[in-house]
Homo-oligomer: A and B are copies of this chain.
Amino acid sequence: MMKQLITLALVFALIGSANAQTTDTTLLAKNHDYSGAQATKKHYHAIYQLDSNDPKVIEKAIRNINNALVDPRLKDKVEIEVITFAGGTEVVVKGSKYEEALKDLVLKGVIVAQCNNSLRERKIERSGIYDFVGVVPSGNGGLIIRQNEGWAVVKP
């Protein structure tokens, strides 16, 4: 009788283990098949936080924005704003190597604007940054306002 019970217990343990393995396989296969969120809304909004002078981060930001603009899910229905502040201020200072990339974004409809606090803290005049760049009271204020209104904030 004891022997039979042990056999039965072993059988159940094996079934349990097999079930667990099936669940694992199912979860991994389901994850493999995941192909991303669908964009069901009519309009999408994003504000990019560019607060670093690290060329890798700056180039990633520009590449990211260009990718988002042509993402088939967002194409023609996403509005993007880039706010430069802190170290990112250097991106919009005249003579930086990003003039063409920034202009290109503006011509694609992206807003590019600089934080005025950072200009003051760094003693940079309005005339010291590219003329086509806008100026906003504070970068963080913009991030907070936009995000409270439902915009996405992306920090590359």
Residues of A within 8 A of B (CB): 24, 27-29, 31-41, 44-46, 49, 51, 60, 63-65, 67-68, 71-74, 78, 86, 103, 106-107, 109, 111-113, 117, 121, 131-156
Residue of B106, B133, B140 touching A154 (CB-CB under 8 A):
B140
Contact of A152 with B142 in the complex, beta carbons under 8 Å: no
Among B35, B106, B143, B152, which residue has its beta carbon within 8 angstroms of that of A134? B35
Query: Is the beta-carbon distance between B27 and A107 smaller than 8 angstroms?
Result: yes
Closest 9 CB pairs of A and B: A34-B134, A36-B136, A71-B141, A147-B152, A28-B132, A68-B140, A71-B138, A144-B152, A37-B145
Q: How far is the CA of A36 from the CA of B149 in the complex (A)?
A: 14
Taken together as a complex, chains A and B put the C-alpha atoms of A149 and B38 apart, in Å, by 11
Residues of B within 8 A of A45 (CB): 148
- With contact pairs A68-B138, A137-B72, A140-B65 given, residues A149 and B111 touching in the complex (Cβ less than 8 Å): no
Contacts of A39 in B (CB 8 A): 141, 145
